[in-house]
Amino acid sequence: MNGPVFILKGNIIYSKEINKFTICEHGYLVCRDGYVEGVYQTLPFKLGGYPVHDYGDCLIIPGLTDLHIHAPQYSFRGLGMDMELLEWLEANTFPEEAKYKDTDYAKKAYKIFADSMRKSATTRACIFATIHRPATLLLMDLMEKTGLDTYVGKVNMDRNSPGYLSETTKESAEETLEWVKDVYHRKYENTHPILTPRFTPTCTDELMEELKKLQMRYQLPLQSHLSENQSEMAWVKELCPWAEIYADVYDRFGLFGADCPTVMAHCVYSDDREIGRMKENGVFIAHCPESNMNVSSGIAPVRKFLEKGLHVGLGSDVAGGSSENLFRAMAHAIQASKLRWRVQDDSLEALTAEEVFYMATKGGGAFFGKVGSFESGYDFDAVVLDDSRFKSPRPLDIRSRLERMLYLADEREVHAKYVKGKEVDLS
């Protein structure tokens, strides 16, 4: 790391381990060539000549990672929340996603989504688009302009889908191949393709075989849904009676971790066998607490995931979740875990602020590499938070100020944001 250097000054707080904050009050965070060089209480003499951006009493945290969000659903967030998952998809999601065949509509809707993501505390995200190749490329163009580093996926659906939002197996495979070629032709710097079979009920075995061929050819990662809802799981059992667990329907085709980096959203009903498979294969779990509550899925056993050493991050899951705000997702994760502990399983203790912050930063960030911490050698993703809007009659230490942010903050607190050492334009 011998490239350009700049330094941020402020109250630095980040995670090295899951159950403890590392805090450097009024310290210095050094970026060299897009990577973290170090955190210092007193700036070393050798760094004295480099520019310092003094953010005063602001908090400086690693950028947040959203491991699961649906861009086309952003338009109806906060609506239709009185249904369970499968009914909700039929009534709300599928009719809306069909509109993205119209690229004019897609441009208008995706611009709103991209602008909101740019202004949020999120610096990395795994994003679902729709089945439409032109609209998906349009979304990727817009996300590239934000400066965020993201995975974006063209969705695959070749069965159990309404006629206005369905593909044949051949069409889905061919369109996905052409989309991947288009992506590499565009030579994005920060926007990457990710295979996105919506979930097993909408994807045949034949399509999964075709996606594995693409995965091997281009070494692509994959995102999908797993064990989210009881009705969904019963349906999967009918469609795939050969599968002992839901995970089998991905793992059979080599699309469940191991040589295929994988994010699975929800995992509300993953049993010990499925948990063991995810651990063995290195699958990442995107915990989506608000969505799990809104569409009546349940409360995931996150404490068990953590105890077993699984990779766990957070997902906003808009529009199952009502907001892209990952501070809200952190608060919901704590609150949901308290309810599970109190009314469902008192062997699984509630999550702490330290743990959900780790999940939102280093835990989920690991899907992107060395991301989500200010340890030396990590990508320089940083968010500067100005919490002066929240008045207090008593002094608060740095940990208390951050904990308060989990419950109160939104994009208004984001004062500055950096991704891989480049400042994001928040105007």
Residues 99 and 240 reside in one and the same domain: yes
> 175 and 167 in contact (C-beta within 8 Å)?
yes
Predicted pLDDT at 2: 55
Residues 52 and 77 reside in one and the same domain: no
> Facing residues of 21 across strands?
15
> Facing residues of 264 across strands?
224, 285
Residues 409 and 355 reside in one and the same domain: no
Residues 58 and 200 reside in one and the same domain: no
* CA separation for the pair 186, 178 (Å, rounded): 12
> 233 and 246 in contact (C-beta within 8 Å)?
yes
Q: What are phi and psi of 353, to 5 degrees?
A: -60, -40
Please say which residue of 368, 395, 411 terminates a domain: 368
Q: Which two tokens stand for residue 168?
A: 């044949």
Predicted pLDDT at 85: 94
Q: SS3 of 190, please?
A: coil
* CA separation for the pair 374, 281 (Å, rounded): 27
Residue 125 half-sphere exposure toward CB, CA atoms < 13 A: 32
Please say which residue of 321, 349, 368 terminates a domain: 368
Predicted pLDDT at 352: 98
What is the bridge-based pairing of β-strands 414-419 and 155-156? unpaired
Q: What are phi and psi of 402, to 5 degrees?
A: -70, -45
Predicted pLDDT at 80: 86
Residues 159 and 16 reside in one and the same domain: no
Look at the chain and count its residues: 427
* CA separation for the pair 384, 407 (Å, rounded): 17
User: Which parts of the chain register pLDDT below 50?
Assistant: 1
Residues 122 and 240 reside in one and the same domain: yes
Amino acid at 155: V
Domain span holding position 110? 64-368
Q: Which two tokens stand for residue 420?
A: 């891989």
Residues 71 and 118 reside in one and the same domain: yes
Residues 397 and 252 reside in one and the same domain: no
Residues 45 and 176 reside in one and the same domain: no
* Number of domains forming the structure of the chain: 2
Residues 217 and 311 reside in one and the same domain: yes
What DSSP letter does each residue of 336-395 carry, written as one string?
HHHHHHHHT-TTSPPP-HHHHHHIIIIIHHGGGSS-SS-STTSB--EEEE--TTS--SS-
* CA separation for the pair 19, 3 (Å, rounded): 33
Predicted pLDDT at 81: 87
Residues 186 and 275 reside in one and the same domain: yes
Q: Say what the alpha-carbon torsion angle 383, 388, 390, 396 is, to the nearest 10 degrees.
A: 90
Predicted pLDDT at 1: 45
* CA separation for the pair 283, 302 (Å, rounded): 14
Residues 418 and 334 reside in one and the same domain: no
CB-neighbour burial class of residue 398 (10 A; exposed 0-12, middle 13-18, buried 19+):
middle
CATH number, residue 394: 2.30.40.10
Which residue in this structure is represented by tokens 């980040």?
14
Please say which residue of 346, 368, 390 terminates a domain: 368
> 222 and 262 in contact (C-beta within 8 Å)?
yes
Neighbours of 185 (CB within 10 A): 9
Neighbours of 350 (CB within 10 A): 17
Neighbours of 34 (CB within 10 A): 16
Q: SS3 of 332, please?
A: helix
CATH number, residue 156: 3.20.20.140
Question: ∠357-371-307 over CA atoms, to 5°?
Answer: 50
